[in-house]
Amino acid sequence: MQDHRTKEGRRNSTIFQKSFQKIAVEVIKEFLNQDIRMIGLGSGPMAAEVVREISKLPFKEHLQCITTSTQVKLQAEQANLKTVDEGFLNELEIFFDGADQIDGNRNMIKGGRGDLLKEKILHSAATNIIIMAESTKYVESFNRSVPIEVHPFARRTVQKKLEVLGGHPKLRTVGEDYVYVTENGNLILDTGFVSMPDVRKKEVELKNIAGVVEVGLFTRHANVYYKANEDGSFEKILG
């Protein structure tokens, strides 16, 4: 289920707020300058902090932003930042994003908020990727479900094939009564696996199922990872 809708997710955002703010200041200072023109913005509380810091830059009018969700796009517009569409993806210089989990090999699970398709596209297009996440999301091996975006027409067949591959898919819902639909008009099967010894192989295997639009396994490593700590500090980890 979507982490940001749970009480635990909201509590974590509060606990790590000071770290989020410090990281946002750090990444903007280190990675944005007047030579940068095209940036990508992921979703979540970290993205909101980054948008807030970008809005303070004296050269912000020269920046153009590609966003992964309507929510972040609205936040960027409210900060008077210029947003552009996918026609500028080939010019994407840097992508600021978060993660739901990061394993010991720097692979990631993303899609808890339902934006995995656009996030995967921006990850693929960006020259540089900066990941920012709470310390609790750094694990030795994955222990949460993998979001898999599926075309509605293929839901039943994909679900069956996931089960054959050892997965335990569950259709994402909003509350108990409504099926969650992504901004792309697709469904999400949150799929648990007992083990995943080869994450890259599993990503390819799942993506090859007809009807699967995108998989929430991200095996392209970021250039830099930032780990937010509960005490307000943070750590910088090179990819």
Q: Strand runs (DSSP E) across 108-151, as ranges?
A: 108-109, 128-134, 146-150
- Dihedral of CA atoms 220, 122, 206, 173 in degrees, nearest 10, equals 130
Supply the DSSP symbol for 165: T
* Contact call for residues 126 and 42 (beta carbons, < 8 A): no
Edge-to-edge order in the sheet of strand 212-215: 167-171, 187-193, 146-150, 212-215
Catalytic-role residue among 53, 119, 149, 214: 119
For residue 214, list its beta bridge partners.
149
Supply the DSSP symbol for 138: B
| Joined tokens for residue 75 | 């936040």
119 is catalytic: yes
DSSP-H helix ranges across the chain: 7-15, 17-31, 45-54, 70-78, 116-125, 155-164, 199-207
Residues labelled as active-site residues? 119
